[in-house]
Amino acid sequence: MEQQKRYGHFDDQHREYVITDPQTPWPWINYLGNEDFFSLISNTAGGYSFYKDAKFRRITRYRYNNVPMDNGGRYFYIKDGDTVWNPGWKPCKTPLDFYECRHGMSYTRITGRKNGVEASVLFFVPLKKWCEVQKLTLKNESSETKTLKLFSFEEWCLWNAATDMENFQRNFSTGEVEIEGSTIYHKTEYRERRNHYAFYHVNAPIQGFDTDRETFVGLYNSFADPQAVIEGKPRNSHAHGWSPIASHYIEVTLAPGESKDFVFLLGYIENEQDEKFEAPQVINKKKAHALIAELDTTEKVDKAFAELCQLWDALLNIYKVKTGNDKLDRMVNIWNQYQCMVTFNFSRSASFFESGVGRGMGFRDSNQDLVGFVHQIPPRARQRIIDIASTQFPDGGCYHQYQPLTKRGNNDIGGGFNDDPCWLIFGTVAYIKETGDFSILDEMVPFDNQPGSEVTLFEHLKVSMDHVIKNLGPHLLPLIGRADWNDCLNLNCFSWDPNESFQTTENVSEGTKAESLMIAGLFVVTGKDYVALCKKIGKNDEAERMQKAVDAMIAAVKKDGWDGEWYLRAYDFYGNKIGSNECEEAKIFIESQGWCTMAEIGAEDGMVAKSLDSCKKYLECEHGMVLNNPAFTKYIYEYGEISSYPEGYKENAGIFCHNNPWVIIGECLAGRGNDAWSHYAKILPSYVEEKYQTLHKVEPYVNCQMVAGKDAFKPGEGKNSWLTGTAAWMWYTVSEFILGIKPDYDGIRIDPCLPETATDYTVNRKFREAEYEITIHPNGAQKGVKQIVLDGKPVDGTVIPYSVGKHTVEVTM
């Protein structure tokens, strides 16, 4: 293997990833903001900000797929004599004497040094505030006095990120700004229906500014050499239409050893309809002034930053493991949990691969995301469940996506993905087990957000289960609808038109025989959960009714869902097998192996073990398990998008990391700890980080959606980092099934599944009003708890009963 170059390293003590070379193989980004106001920031300060919704409230502009990559962001230009440089290297790309980017928990610190000057910028979004803070510290480390010219830079987006990129006949005439002291206000469209504006402020007097992009940059220049900066002269331009920007100009003199802080604030304000203006055409700035006043000194900013760090201390204190294996501990204790927060907040909307305009919150995605997040901030998970359920239809079907701003179902995509309803049970059960809050089941929740249609959340769960039962096909297996978890297995689509999207094409469902084994397994897993929940709340008849449906599904899978060495994947429109040894290509798929082994269907007949062995034999490769094997080599009209991808990418035999944990959990349930661990470590970012920084390309501190599979041109190359269900599934897998600490209605179930090399480890788990220190002694066993001692007394079984207070637990395997 070629020697892999390294671009950075983990700093566990500070919970940071430290990037030491700005020329990473792809922009390595971070997320700022925990609620409402969000930013994406790359290791060279590229990216953008938005309020709640990356499509409808885009605050700053970003151009995806740009040349060069990742051009545009919050830039500080420092002109020191004839040298112009940026602390994050870009966009000037002036060689720096020192560069470092530290991505931490909801903050990023970028430091550059050039010719005896250090510029360090701390970027973060303070808790509960609608702004991004950029605290710039300039330090003269030379022995002579330095006089520097500092220019800030932000480019405004005209709010709707979609029309901002296309409707130029209008856009070039609507832009409006106001300038007041050191604050530049962006108020495009405020004169009409918008009641929000943005501002860019600095807590120091300025000696000039610019708000018109072409005037600042020059029509024939670029971000790398803006004319105003090169000449060291701001133009004091006032934008009218075209492309409004915000740039402050500050002259700074620093004695040797002297340093100065500047607090820049990018803020977002909403006003009441009747308080929009303070004078004709003049925006009401009262709230902006108030927000600025809260953060106008270094001390106030440092305090806000300390609060943010305390929040993360608390969040990461809920589940903490100490195994002695740094690579495992840092993922469990820091980065996996962090990524779960990000996926919970963003679903699949805004990353460097998701443009923020295409997709809102996914129904299935959000339910899964909340399983990775629920232990951190349960009330937000609760609200999310209600929001999601409110987009459901009375028959249990659901909108596939909804918009975060309006919380309404998205009509462009519609519904008909027949796995969707089951995920509501998955999410709700996880919430109740974590919190013990059964009252959520009594919440009145509407259908399709229609007032008057409210029923209890429990009723929503019931219609979810019923939706599967009422949509069975000829083998009594679930009809797939538009698609199941695999959005690209479009069995009722039949498209020969290159101008239509597989995702939105009208599906032919009349007369279909297309059934899904993935939904079958999912139904059994969530069905068992539903039955247990019904029993728990005394709905015994309902429990019995659903148990019968689950048993029938198990029987159907055993009868018509087994191919001999693995579970089938589906039946197509005509009733032909998919994912069978009889097929020419794609003989085996991962999804049904994952879900049917998690459901333990046919375990007693050896089906589970055979399926897991087949995953190892046919799907596993150096970088993880591929989705299907062999890859499709041609487009198959009756399969849809899945066969549109070249071999080894995405849903066509890519390592679609999201589904690897399903098989890993299957392994854990089967007690095969060595296999579970080896699959897990292959896609664990810290292991990949150590070996493949260049090949993998994307951020080494988080999981990505897809890693090119064994049939790809470059196996091991990662794509679509950050926003993926992999985060929640990795968390669920390691926290509950490998390390074996599983919240349950009445306590914590302890049932680890480990490689036989595992040594003693301790998990500190806060759970409701209790705190457990759990030490596990594996003694070389892969599975099987022999004895649990709680506060010195042996416990029967594997559940430690919940009780308020601090407890110590000793577990012998």
- Kindly list the catalytic residues: 487
Map the footprint of ligand NOJ across residues 339-358, applying CB under 6 A. Answer: 348
> Identity (one letter) of the amino acid at 93?
K
Using CB under 6 A, pick the residue from 364, 462, 482, 569 that binds ligand NOJ.
Answer: 364
Cα–Cα distance between 30 and 338 in angstroms, integer?
A: 10
Site string for ligand NOJ, 649-688 (x = CB under 6 A): --x-------------------------------------
Does residue 276 belong to the site contacting ligand NOJ (CB under 6 A)? no
Site string for ligand BGC, 19-48 (x = CB under 6 A): ------------------------------
* Partner from ligand NOJ, ligand BGC, none contacting 751, C-beta within 5 to 8 A by type: none
DSSP 219-232: TT--TTS-HHHHHT
Using CB under 6 A, pick the residue from 70, 80, 419, 651 that binds ligand BGC.
Answer: 651
Map the footprint of ligand NOJ across residues 484-503, applying CB under 6 A. Answer: 485-488
**Closer Cβ to ligand NOJ, 571 or 729, answer by number:** 729
* Partner from ligand BGC, ligand NOJ, none contacting 365, C-beta within 5 to 8 A by type: ligand NOJ
Nearest distance in Å: CB 696, ligand BGC: 19
Torsion 766-769-771-776 (CA) sign: negative
**Closer Cβ to ligand NOJ, 135 or 348, answer by number:** 348
Site string for ligand NOJ, 277-306 (x = CB under 6 A): ------------------------------
Give the H or E element holding residue 632. Answer: none
Nearest distance in Å: CB 368, ligand NOJ: 8
Map the footprint of ligand BGC across residues 174-233, applying CB under 6 A. Answer: none
CB neighbours (10 Å) of residue 207?
A: 14
- Using the 8-state DSSP alphabet, how is residue 70 labeled? S
In this structure, what token pair is assigned to residue 19?
Answer: 């990037």
Nearest distance in Å: CB 62, ligand BGC: 20
Using CB under 6 A, pick the residue from 488, 734, 741, 754 that binds ligand BGC.
Answer: 488
Give the distance, in angstroms, between the CA of residue 568 and the centroid of all CA atoms in the same chain.
30
CB neighbours (10 Å) of residue 714?
A: 9
Cα–Cα distance between 569 and 590 in angstroms, integer?
A: 8
**Closer Cβ to ligand NOJ, 337 or 503, answer by number:** 503
Cα–Cα distance between 272 and 319 in angstroms, integer?
A: 42
Angle value at C-alpha 668, between 663 and 673, nearest 5 degrees: 110
Considering only 127-135, 265-273, 482-490, 598-606, which stretch makes contact with ligand NOJ by CB under 6 A?
A: 482-490
Alpha-helical regions (H) of 436-486: 457-469
List 62's β-bridge partners, or say none: none
Nearest distance in Å: CB 70, ligand BGC: 22
Using CB under 6 A, pick the residue from 212, 365, 515, 572 that binds ligand NOJ.
Answer: 365
* Partner from ligand NOJ, ligand BGC, none contacting 485, C-beta within 5 to 8 A by type: ligand NOJ
* Partner from ligand BGC, ligand NOJ, none contacting 369, C-beta within 5 to 8 A by type: none
List 135's β-bridge partners, or say none: 122, 263
Give the H or E element holding residue 170. Answer: helix 168-174
CB 17 within 8 A of CB 8: yes
* Partner from ligand BGC, ligand NOJ, none contacting 503, C-beta within 5 to 8 A by type: ligand BGC
Site string for ligand BGC, 348-387 (x = CB under 6 A): -----------x----------------------------
Does residue 155 belong to the site contacting ligand NOJ (CB under 6 A)? no
The backbone torsions φ and ψ at residue 427, rounded to the nearest 5 degrees and listed phi first, read: -70, -45
Using CB under 6 A, pick the residue from 61, 129, 460, 650 that binds ligand BGC.
Answer: 650
Number of residues engaging ligand NOJ in binding (CB under 6 A): 9
Of the candidates 20, 18, 21, the one whose C-alpha atom is nearest the C-alpha of residue 30 is: 18
* Partner from ligand NOJ, ligand BGC, none contacting 571, C-beta within 5 to 8 A by type: none
Of the candidates 292, 9, 269, the one whose C-alpha atom is nearest the C-alpha of residue 133 is: 292
Using CB under 6 A, pick the residue from 24, 42, 211, 503 that binds ligand BGC.
Answer: 503
**Closer Cβ to ligand NOJ, 60 or 366, answer by number:** 366
Nearest distance in Å: CB 353, ligand NOJ: 11
**Closer Cβ to ligand BGC, 623 or 650, answer by number:** 650
CB 197 within 8 A of CB 186: yes
CB neighbours (10 Å) of residue 585?
A: 16
Cα–Cα distance between 554 and 547 in angstroms, integer?
A: 10
Whole-Å CA distances, 143 to 81, 111, 255, 258, 773? 16, 20, 8, 10, 54
- Residue 154 zone, left/alpha/beta (φ > 0; ψ -120 to 50; rest): beta
Give the distance, in angstroms, between the CA of residue 398 and the centroid of all CA atoms in the same chain.
22
* Partner from ligand NOJ, ligand BGC, none contacting 243, C-beta within 5 to 8 A by type: none
> Identity (one letter) of the amino acid at 182?
S
Whole-Å CA distances, 505 to 413, 488, 491? 9, 12, 12
In this structure, what token pair is assigned to residue 579?
Answer: 């994912």
**Closer Cβ to ligand NOJ, 104 or 414, answer by number:** 414
> Identity (one letter) of the amino acid at 730?
M
Site string for ligand BGC, 608-627 (x = CB under 6 A): --------------------
Does residue 34 belong to the site contacting ligand NOJ (CB under 6 A)? no
Number of residues engaging ligand BGC in binding (CB under 6 A): 7
Nearest distance in Å: CB 350, ligand BGC: 14
Does residue 591 belong to the site contacting ligand NOJ (CB under 6 A)? no
Considering only 31-39, 379-387, 480-488, 778-786, which stretch makes contact with ligand NOJ by CB under 6 A?
A: 480-488
Cα–Cα distance between 127 and 296 in angstroms, integer?
A: 16
Nearest distance in Å: CB 705, ligand NOJ: 7
Of the candidates 756, 757, 755, 775, the one whose C-alpha atom is nearest the C-alpha of residue 765 is: 775
How deeply is 400 buried, as exposed, middle or buried, from its count of CB atoms within 10 A (0-12, 13-18, 19+)? Answer: buried
**Closer Cβ to ligand NOJ, 19 or 522, answer by number:** 522
The SS3 of residue 602 is: coil
First to last CA, the chain: 39
Nearest distance in Å: CB 107, ligand NOJ: 27
Residue with smallest beta-carbon separation from ligand BGC: 487
Nearest distance in Å: CB 503, ligand BGC: 5
Does residue 490 belong to the site contacting ligand BGC (CB under 6 A)? no
**Closer Cβ to ligand NOJ, 8 or 362, answer by number:** 362
Residue with smallest beta-carbon separation from ligand NOJ: 487
Of the candidates 794, 796, 785, 789, the one whose C-alpha atom is nearest the C-alpha of residue 774 is: 789
Nearest distance in Å: CB 747, ligand NOJ: 32
Nearest distance in Å: CB 348, ligand NOJ: 5
Of the candidates 388, 484, 477, the one whose C-alpha atom is nearest the C-alpha of residue 430 is: 388
> Identity (one letter) of the amino acid at 512?
T
Of the candidates 317, 338, 336, the one whose C-alpha atom is nearest the C-alpha of residue 328 is: 336
Nearest distance in Å: CB 52, ligand BGC: 21
Angle value at C-alpha 260, between 256 and 266, nearest 5 degrees: 150
Of the candidates 343, 452, 328, the one whose C-alpha atom is nearest the C-alpha of residue 390 is: 452
Nearest distance in Å: CB 709, ligand BGC: 14
CB neighbours (10 Å) of residue 240?
A: 13
Using CB under 6 A, pick the residue from 80, 487, 699, 736 that binds ligand BGC.
Answer: 487
Task: Give residues in contact with ligand NOJ (CB under 6 A).
Answer: 348, 362, 364-365, 485-488, 651
Task: Give residues in contact with ligand BGC (CB under 6 A).
Answer: 359, 487-488, 503, 641, 650-651
